Amino acid sequence: MTTSLKSSKKNNLSGEVVIPGDKSISHRAIVFGLLSKGKTQIHGSQNSEDVHNSLNVARFLGIKTKVKSSVIFLDSPGIEGLSAPTKDLYFGNSGTGMRLFAGFLSSLNFSSTLTGDASLSNRPMMRIIDPLQKMGAKISATNKENPPLKISPSTGLIGITYKMPIASAQVKSSILLAGLNAEGKTQVQEKYPTRDHTERMMKTFEANISFSKGIVEIEKSDLKTPGQIEVPGDFSSAAFFIGACLISENSEIKIKNVGINNTRKAFLDCLLDMNANIDLANIRQLGNEEVADLVIKSSDLLPAKIMEDIVPNLIDELPLFFLIASLIDGESEFNGLSELKHKESDRLSIMINNLQKLDVEVQLNEDSLKIIGKKDRIFSDEVFDSHGDHRIAMTMLVAGLRSTEGLTITNLECINTSFPEFIDQAKTLGFSFKNG
**Residues recognised as catalytic:** 316
What is the number of helices (H) and of strands (E) in the chain?
A: 12, 26
Nearer to ligand S3P, 173 or 386 (CB): 173
Q: Are 418 and 53 in contact (CB under 8 A)?
A: no
Strand order in the sheet with 71-76: 64-68, 71-76, 38-43, 228-230
Q: Are 4 and 409 in contact (CB under 8 A)?
A: yes
Min dist. Cβ of residue 195 to ligand S3P (A): 6
Closest CA to 53 of 101, 11, 8: 101
Nearer to ligand S3P, 7 or 173 (CB): 173
DSSP state letter for 296: E
Vertex 79: Cα angle to 77 and 80 (nearest 5):
80
Closest-approach residue to ligand S3P (CB) = 24
Min dist. Cβ of residue 80 to ligand S3P (A): 26
List Cβ neighbours of 177 (8 Å cut-off, separation of 6 or more). Answer: 31, 35, 100, 103, 104, 198
Nearer to ligand S3P, 28 or 254 (CB): 28
Nearer to ligand S3P, 247 or 315 (CB): 315
Closest CA to 162 of 138, 140, 139, 129: 129
The binding site for ligand S3P (CB under 6 A) comprises 24, 96, 168-170, 173, 194-195, 315-316, 339
Q: Are 83 and 62 in contact (CB under 8 A)?
A: yes
Min dist. Cβ of residue 125 to ligand S3P (A): 11
Min dist. Cβ of residue 422 to ligand S3P (A): 16
Min dist. Cβ of residue 222 to ligand S3P (A): 24
Nearer to ligand S3P, 120 or 358 (CB): 120
Report the DSSP pairing between strands 361-365 and 368-373. antiparallel
List Cβ neighbours of 66 (8 Å cut-off, separation of 6 or more). Answer: 72, 73
Min dist. Cβ of residue 68 to ligand S3P (A): 25
Nearer to ligand S3P, 315 or 355 (CB): 315
C-alpha span between 377 and 370 (Å, rounded): 17
**SS3 (DSSP) at 258:** strand
